[in-house]
Amino acid sequence: MQQESFETHPDADKTTKEIIDRARKFIRDNNGTIEGIGVSLPGLVDPDGKELFIPGFNWRDLPLANQISTATGLPVTMDNDANAAAQAELWFGRPEIREVRDFILVLVEGGVGTGIVFDGQVYRGENGAAGEFGHMTIGQGAPVACASGSRECWEAFASERSALARFKGLSGGRNGAAKTNFGKLIDLALTSEGPARTALKETAYFLGIGIANLIRGLAPQAVIVGGPIVRAWPVISTDIRTTVEATICRGLPTTRIIASTLGPEPTLMGALSLVLASKFASVSVT
């Protein structure tokens, strides 16, 4: 499988050009056998593939799908990254998920997003705005601000950025903490006790708080946690489940909480699944 990466430029036109250039290269390298392009984005995306709002870059209402399609001659399918990852779970996820009709994918990256699947279909809501649970209020004084500037949102407490901020605070700035990325943080937590493990376990606690809220409100059959954080599952899984069990109301059905098997970048599989769903499946937008 071919793969290339580049830094996303805050200027939407420059990033769009990069995407088109890479897409054209893949088309040439594969002798025109590519039949479609999938794009997953960390923000609000309407069902017609027009960006509504990408808060990390303050992009609004950009005709990205149309621009890419016009430049490449291929159909383009776009969606929110968590929705795309949830779609990928339907196509490529754990065998037991194929038997589940209702689940929630919690995507933990720089922010926290959720993809909701009801009756085997991704639920997108009005204008694709469903699933923005990363911005539900769960407390005050989070270690970082969310993409919209709040320190009360779930993602401000439970994202990769919040875990890194905790690690920096616990380390007192020592041992290169300020330059540690999330992958290195997981490496440290997996190999020894100390600030890295504590930071991840505190983050897991807040992940559990949010997941408990999702279970209370939507009663899914399963919750899947996805993103690079799943590599730390041996460290965080017990804390997540313990928090959910302590927080959830008695009498509610038991909900499985499991780690995604799509790897550290489920949004790549998500982009692929968008193309497959548009080509082979009859996907209804609800």
Provide the β-strand partners of residue 225: 106, 259
* 3-state class (DSSP) for residue 76: strand
β-bridge mates for residue 94, sequence order: none
Helix (H, G, I), strand (E, B) or coil at 107: strand
> What is the gyration radius of the CA atoms in the chain, in angstroms?
19
3-state DSSP assignment of residue 263: coil
The total of other beta-carbon atoms located within 10 Å of residue 222's CB is 20
> What pLDDT, on a 0 to 100 scale, did the predictor assign at position 102?
93
Residue 52, both tokens: 């509504």
Residues of the chain with pLDDT under 70: 49-51, 173, 175-176, 251-252, 281-286
Q: Which amino acid is at 104?
A: I
Note whether 261 and 93 are within 8 A (CB).
Answer: yes
Q: How far apart are the first and last CA of the chain?
A: 33
| Torsion sign across C-alpha atoms 59, 63, 69, 70 | negative
Q: 15 vs 5, 54, 58, 65, 150, CA distance in Å?
A: 12, 13, 13, 13, 27
Map tokens 């799509």 to a residue.
Answer: 262
| Confidence (pLDDT) at 286 | 43
Q: Name the region of 277 (left: φ>0; alpha: ψ -120 to 50; beta: rest).
A: alpha
- In this prediction, residue 63 carries a pLDDT of 87
CB of 45 closer than 8 Å to CB of 82? no
Look up the pTM and report it: 0.90
pLDDT at 71: 96
